[in-house]
Amino acid sequence: MTTEQYHGRLRRLGVRRLSAVFTAGVIAVAAVLVAPQPATADTPWLAVSDDRYASFTVPASYVQEQLGTVSQVVIEGNFGPSASWAEFGLTRRGDAWSGVLGALEPGLYHYQLTADDTKTIKDPTNSTSVASHPLWSTFLVPGDSARWLVDAPAGTGGAVETLTYRARDEQRSALVWTPPGYAAKGPKRYPALFLQSGDGTAATDWLDLGRTKQILDNLSAAGAMQPMVVVIANGSDDRELTALRKAVADRYRVLRDPAHQAIAGVADGAARAVRAAFAKPGQFGYVGWFSGDSAPAVDRKDAKAINRDVKLLRLYTGNVTDPAHNATYRLTKALDRAGVRFEFDGVNPDGGGNWTTWQENLVDFVPRLFRHVSDHGPSPGHQRLKGEFAPPPAGTTPTPFVTEDGFVTFETTTDFTTAQHVTVWANIAPGGSWLRVPLTRDGDRWRATIGPLKPWFYYYRLIVDRVPFKDVSNPTKVTTEPMWSTFLIPGPEARLLTDVPAGQGGKVEAMTYSSTVAGQDRTALVWTPPGYDPGRAQPYPVLYLQHGSGQNYTDWVEMGRAKQILDHQFLDGDLTPMVVVMGNGNSSNFNRELLENIVPTARSRYHISSDPSQQALAGLSMGGGQALGVLKAYPGEFGYVAAFSAGFGSGTGVDVAAINNGTKMLRLYVGDQTDFVYPSFMASLTTLDNLGIRYEFDGVTPGPHGWDVWQKNLIDLAPRLFKR
């Protein structure tokens, strides 16, 4: 069974080289959610658990009051791969829209609520704000990799104030952080760092989204940075920058020589910072490029002066989803040709062009300023910049286009030129949960590149103005979900889901049988192992493997990758040679359908055992409930029973002794908190314990009520069968 929920995956913030100097005293995680505002809601919309699951519960009455009647509600935020913007869908349950997202990587998240693609409101129960985006709220998921983002203990941090100045006969303002212990009067003067915002960002974003104050406070408390004054301004040209520097020098006790002046920026603010440093090399001794969007010109004749006066030029970029990726590559080549010395932090493999990435850049850059640093290499885990990234020209390849390192480009046909909002809905969030990723218009098509995705099996569909469509450029199909398409990201983790070499795997064939319950012919799929011998002396053990609600006998092959899993496990020597029967469980009386129709037909067509110790029954969701129902009604009929994401139910009338004596293994599986059966499943374990039924619980499988979880469950279960 599947649901229309889709959840989000986030990337990790971590700068391991500084962990040794970060002391426990700096970590003081404050709650970011505040008491609800009675005028708008009774309880907070968002709660984040200690294990990093974000639960959203939005009153339907409030949504209707603010936006009218709506058909769809999503939480939009930086939940996508590489911290990209994505939509997390909520489900209407009674009087609330709700959903669980996670487990989230530690870090800062921002979000807003959007209904029917265009109607947006702020979470009124979250007092955090983003000045440049009034409808956004933020929340911090604590953890070691986000340790630089937490509030420093009260009284230990620096101060932030607003500096007003004039430039081009207009009043301007900048934000200024002064370090702990800074005094307006006295003999000591400080170095200065100027941080530039870029197009689409504001100076206030450095605080609201970049957590710059927290980063500086924590680095300072850890002794990981030189005391300095940090000036945060909106993007400015040379004249405005000159005016700003003068205003800072007049107001603050800063050192004015180039060796004690630094500049950095994000996006086009990074490009302006580098241009300013190159135009007059005597201005800044330290320069940082955080995802600069255009490579400034650099001439060989200027290299001598730049190398003499610029002590550090350090470049940062995200992966191919970062718009600055190609510009950074072009800049590195231009600097090499001109003979300008620079350092490159390497490609952040999990970072896009956003504040999550730029937070890391700032944490790496600031400790390098105004002092000797011995480490000039890339951050741990960062990669070589191989070249520019360009997906195939529009319309030249089936979609999605998948790179060897897990980046996926989706593209529509030209059928949606008049569309207003196009997304890809896919299982790309943690554990296989679902997110919608917005596509952008590219001529007469819509496109987006996302990633990196972990090696695994993915399925998706297009959502165009809230209407689902199949990607007709993808030839894959799912019988029970005609709108879905699939693709595989290869890699060691996904090996069991890939096709084995031709001729080496087992066979899957259709088995038609007459259903006395349905009153018609029905079909099952049957996997036989490599070398299956219908004439061998010993009958084969048999596993009856059931699907969930809304599915049928085709799903374990088309979505569960059962053939690939079984083929690999057999060839690896992990699997007892067996026959696997995948029947149609859509029945008004599954017990009869199984025992009167599916089992007898399978026994008549295949050389399989009728010995209970050589028979297994398993299923997912509805199919898991059916398997447990057979166990209750016919204890001992199947020696091995397993349920994926299904609870045991009532214990009334259960013959405990017959189950325990007749069952060699009862093994249970469930997804995490994003699996909606999780609460009832956990409650059913208490029922089993109270009854005294022996069972095995594999522990929570990270992920939702979806195929990523059930594939992993089959991978765990199959090698355990018929070995006791």
Q: What is the pLDDT of residues 346-365, one digit of tens each?
A: 999 999 999 999 999 999 99
Sorted by where each starts, the structural domains of the chain and their CATH numbers stand as 16-149 (2.60.40.10), 159-368 (3.40.50.1820), 401-490 (2.60.40.10), 496-720 (3.40.50.1820)
Residue 42 pLDDT: 64
Residue 238 pLDDT: 79
SS3 of residue 612 by DSSP: helix
Residue 680 pLDDT: 96
Paired residues of 193 in beta bridges: 230, 262
Contact between 382 and 347 under an 8 Å Cβ cutoff? The reply is yes
Residues 6+ apart with CB under 8 A from 251: 163, 176
Higher pLDDT pick, 168 / 360: 360
Residue in the block written with tokens 């990270």: 702
Q: What is the pLDDT of residues 64-73, one digit of tens each?
A: 999 999 999 9
Closest CA to 709 of 621, 609, 613: 621
Q: Which segment of 70-84, 381-395, 519-533 scores lowest on mean pLDDT?
A: 381-395
Please report which confidence band the pLDDT of residue 396 belongs to, taking 50, 70 and 90 as the band edges: confident
Q: Which segment of 4-18, 269-283, 326-340, 569-583 scores lowest on mean pLDDT?
A: 4-18
Please report which confidence band the pLDDT of residue 398 belongs to, taking 50, 70 and 90 as the band edges: confident
Structure tokens, 662: 């007749």
Q: Answer whether residue 40 shows pLDDT above 70.
A: no
Q: Answer whether residue 24 shows pLDDT above 50.
A: no
Average pLDDT of span 611-631: 98
User: What percent of the chain lies above the pLDDT cut of 70?
Assistant: 94
- Strands (E) across 38-178 are located at 46-48, 54-59, 73-77, 86-89, 91-93, 96-101, 107-115, 119-121, 137-141, 159-167, 170-178
Q: What is the pLDDT of residues 199-219, one digit of tens each?
A: 888 999 999 999 999 999 999
Q: Is the four-CA dihedral 624, 626, 627, 633 of positive or negative sign?
A: positive
User: In the predicted model, what is the mean pLDDT of the chain?
Assistant: 92
Residue 695 pLDDT: 98
Residue 546 pLDDT: 98
Structure tokens, 144: 């070691």
How many residues in total does the chain contain?
A: 724
Q: Answer whether residue 550 shows pLDDT above 60.
A: yes
Provide the residue type at 677 as one letter: V
Please report which confidence band the pLDDT of residue 145 belongs to, taking 50, 70 and 90 as the band edges: very high
Q: What is the pLDDT of residues 695-719, one digit of tens each?
A: 999 899 999 999 999 999 999 999 9
Residue 487 parent element (H or E)? strand 485-489
CA distance 664 to 722: 9
Residue 713 pLDDT: 98
